[in-house]
Structure 1
């Protein structure tokens, strides 16, 4: 069978695949990108989630931190990212009439808020920690779009042995215990180590440390920003850049197999097509790639496991708080932490290991529409409507099956709403708008729902366990793919998604680095 040949065939049209396509096509390479869905963008999409309601939610991914300004500039992406004034608000679980509000623009107000919950000393401790993580970010983030440093080289870039040992070599929980006196302050920091990661903060695997690192290094600041217009704008701009550069992007194309020699088979509109690539870039989880290669029964990449429940809501207005000293606009203007004290996070992990939904469930909320009302119609804006995105933590995929998914979704959604209500002055259910059919505007996404919608095994948002953004000193670096952290055991097949080293989050880094490795190899 004759088949078309390309310099690169990219499997998966999420934002990383689009990034790789844009870079390779701009370099004059022939590129074919195959996406099984009818829409490009993967998890980085905006959608009208509620029937007949003109609100375009960032349905899966929600914030941007790790996307380098370098990629935005080099690809000419027209993306506007908006900062949020407030870092976070966290009610005291034992007394939700009090809470901790951290204001980026008013240090003294933040200091006073720490004092109001009896945590005066932890204001300075928090400042010191983030001064330290900023130094870590300035040292490491510039390497994310370059060949990987070794562990020794990365340590030397930081130039602080004590800080390196504290954040990289020992469980994060130990650092939080040393630095903070207040349980709530420790918990606020700890949540950055647990989003999408099922672990204890004291686990010697250091999974929490790696998750924390990726949350605090983005663009050398660790700031998490909102894309104006919703997450779909990011993917649409990457799609534009790839098309204008000459890449061929095919949707509705389900890849059924990949061969080590670069042969890719896909099914579209009932017929099968075979193409060949000098390089195949896999913008799918390594576990999915293993299946496409027919190798899952041999060498074992473990099946990933996610650990979050995501709930999207559309409200007629923001809810009133039990804490009357803080406005709803301020509380929801950053990350709203609920039942996320350090001890509660650790207890929730233990409860989940035993098979119980944590009670109360640790949650955090993001209100996109406060910062970016453009995702709502003018009618919704005038009426005061707001979106909420809620993440429940420590809810592992191991609980879910095809048979119980609907029931578990309902139970987890109920746990999320109960956690919200524990700190609100009115039931959240009374504020939820109805869609055109009369159904409440609320949707919950379990890890299994993410697997179904996004081919994301286990609902793991990182495509697997996060890896350090450096190589061990004795690691192989003989090939370009190894040096860029995108290698597989097959020389012609590279990772270009979140499963690549330094690939987690909406960043484009995995796609960029795979493209750089391909260009280096083909040039040789």
Structure 2
């Protein structure tokens, strides 16, 4: 409910936006004795990390925008005392093709080995797969432990710079490494897709934005495994809200901030019916939106590139390959994601057109966790399917008609591999374009990372002059820090940016209650 405050209200820290990172920051700061106020414009906290009863007449609470958890460090979960359960999936991915499908198990077994042989006729591609991901794991082992510490300098990672994987992931466009290491177009695409989730780029983009996306998708907890939150993403947010409130943080929903006026001696946060004087502000909103609140020149508006579809089906469809759908849909189910198809889709979208064919992936939450289903569904064969489409930027999905075309393409791409059409099995459906995500979450351009991801280390020549810069959470003003996905190590549901913003303030030993 909306709460009004007097013009002379004071706080040590005001956090603008009530997403999961904001709740993490609020907990750490409140536990350290700071008076923290979190302001969220929506009626609930959590931002994109929520569950919702999406389909009218059906009791199913889906993770509506964010689905899985990988980057959230176990150390952070333990520090905060979160009662969350993250379950592994036996299937890592399944990629259908005419006459078969490539199955990759989370823990490699004979099914994976036979699947590679059926696709390629030999063991060479599987050997290349093992070698590549072993090297990625070595990179993750070094990078993951640094994510909850001040930014390491690239010079401190020199032992990695002599490894081939450093060149492949950090120095050169990822597409070159994929083409050099793998021979099969389908395998190349499966590897490359982790570089494109939420990122609109060719795998050969010289900016390396795709490489940075790839690193973040494979580095989580040193394993890169994406796990299912039991109870849905809303269960994660509920735990974060619980610990924040127990720590003493004040959380106000229905509280829209209209301006952030930063001075040398403090910050005035104004909104509909409130004015709060604070020593510092943490921003959980996108840098583009924050600049507008501060009256500063806005950076380029980001553009999201994903098309999301949430489905409730009466049962899983049968596949032409004959594989058990409970195996195929348990992990990541790839559609149109060979490397040549991904590059073609990018070229078409970069030219301003919706790609001719859908490229994206599905997963089924309820095969791993049926607790999100109500009593009328839980004992039936009903399942949820969630689709994340690639190379569908804001500009090519301008209206409802374009969204319906994109949805029809998803059904057509899936039906190519099914022994029966999917549509008769659908009980409920919703889809979200970047424009619709922008409208619902006030996320500029519908960009789920608030902008392009950055390397999680200091580059050559970077010399941080403040705690905020050391932790990668600085903005244009020293009293305003970034605690959301726009921070140096933001993106995904991880809590890392919130942790780092709070620790930057605490490390600086600032007088948060004074001038």
Q: TM-score, normalised by structure 2?
A: 0.96
Per the alignment, residue 327 of structure 2 pairs with 330
Query: In 1, distance between residues paired with 2:405 and 2:259?
Result: 37
Report deviation, 1:129: 1.1
Q: State the Cα distance separating 1:174 from its structure 2 match.
A: 0.5
Aligned counterparts of 1:147 and 1:100: Cα–Cα separation in 2: 41
Conserved 8 A contact 2:364-2:385:
yes
- 1:165 Cα deviation after fit: 1.5
Q: Count residues with an aligned counterpart.
A: 502
The question of whether the paired residues in 2 share the 8 Å contact of 1:503 and 1:509 is answered with yes
Alignment match of 1:485 (pick from 460, 466, 472): 472
Q: For residue 132 of structure 2, give the secondary structure of its aligned residue in structure 1.
A: helix
For residues 153-302 of structure 1, the aligned pairs below 5 Å read: 153-156=156-159, 158=160, 160-261=162-263, 262-267=267-272, 272-296=273-297, 300-302=298-300
Task: State how far apart, in whole Å, the 1-side matches of 2:68 and 2:121 are.
Answer: 29
2:143 to 123, 140, 145: 140
- The answer on whether the counterparts of 2:354 and 2:397 sit within 8 Å (CA) in structure 1 is no
Q: CA deviation at 1:284?
A: 0.3
Give the corresponding residue for 1:306: 304
Shift of 1:132: 0.8
d(CA) in 2 for partners of 1:406, 1:155: 50
The answer to whether 1:11 aligns with 2:16 is: yes
1:318-357 equivalences under 5 Å are: 318-324=316-322, 326-357=323-354
Secondary structure (helix, strand or coil) at the match of 1:314 reads strand
Aligned to 1:62: 67
CA drift of 1:360 comes to 1.7
Question: 2: distance between equivalents of 1:80 and 1:212?
Answer: 25
Matched, 1:408 2:402: yes
Structure 2 distance, partners of 1:476, 1:510, is 20
Residue 474 (structure 1) aligned to one of 461, 485, 497:
461
Residue number in structure 2 paired with 1:437: none
Runs of 4+ in 1 over 4 A off after TM superposition: none
What do the CA deviations read for 1:369-426 (whole angstroms, capped 9, x no partner)? 000011112331222000000011100112344xxx2212212111211111121111
Aligned partners of 1:119 and 1:181 also within 8 Å: no
| Counterpart Cα distance in 1 of 2:418 and 2:243 | 44
Deviations along 1:64-84, whole A, 9 cap, x unmatched? 000011111011000000000
Question: 1:279–1:493: 8 Å Cα contact kept in structure 2?
Answer: yes
Answering whether residue 397 of structure 2 is matched by residue 383 of structure 1, we say no
Distance 1:346 1:108 in 2: 31
Offset of residue 302 of structure 1: 1.1
Gap runs ≥5 in structure 1: 434-440
Q: Is the 8 A contact 1:285 1:457 kept in 2?
A: yes
CA distance in 1, matches of 2:476, 2:503: 18
Whole-angstrom distance in 2 between the partners of 1:119 and 1:202: 28
Preserved contact between residue 13 and residue 34 of structure 2 (Cα < 8 Å): yes
Q: TM-score, normalised by structure 1?
A: 0.94
Task: Give SS of 1:17's match.
Answer: helix
Which whole-Å CA distance do the structure 2 matches of 1:160 and 1:312 have between them?
Answer: 44
Could you list the per-position Cα deviations for residues 412-456 of structure 1 after superposition, in whole angstroms to 9, with x for gaps in the alignment? 1112111111211111111101xxxxxxx1000000111011111
Could you tell me how far 1:357 is from its partner in structure 2?
1.8
SS at match of 1:443: strand
Q: 1:501-516 alignment to 2 at 5 Å?
A: 501-516=488-503
Q: Which string of whole-angstrom CA distances, capped at 9 and with x for unpartnered residues, describes residues 201-228 of structure 1? A: 0010001100000000000100000100
Q: 1:139 to 1:105 in 2, by over 3 A?
A: closer
CA distance in 1 between counterparts of 2:430 and 2:477 reads 40
Q: How far apart in 2 are the matches of 1:400 and 1:113?
A: 36
- After superposition, residues 27-176 of structure 1 pair within 5 angstroms as 27-92=32-97, 95=98, 97-118=99-120, 120=122, 121-156=124-159, 158=160, 160-176=162-178
What secondary structure, in the 3-state scheme, does the structure 2 residue paired with 1:373 have?
A: coil
Query: Does residue 518 in structure 1 map to residue 515 in structure 2?
Result: no
**3-state DSSP of counterpart to 2:262:** coil
Tell me the equivalent position of 2:411: 417
Check the 8 A contact 1:155/1:164 in 2, yes or no: no
Match of 2:3 in 1: none
Rounded to whole Å, the distance in 2 between the matches of 1:161 and 1:84 is 30
Q: 1:81 to 1:47 in 2, by over 3 A?
A: same
Change (3 A) 1:155 1:366: farther
CA distance in 2, matches of 1:389, 1:254: 31
Deviation at 1:154, TM superposition (A): 2.8
* Residue 390 of structure 2: aligned partner: 393
For residue 401 of structure 2, give the secondary structure of its aligned residue in structure 1: helix
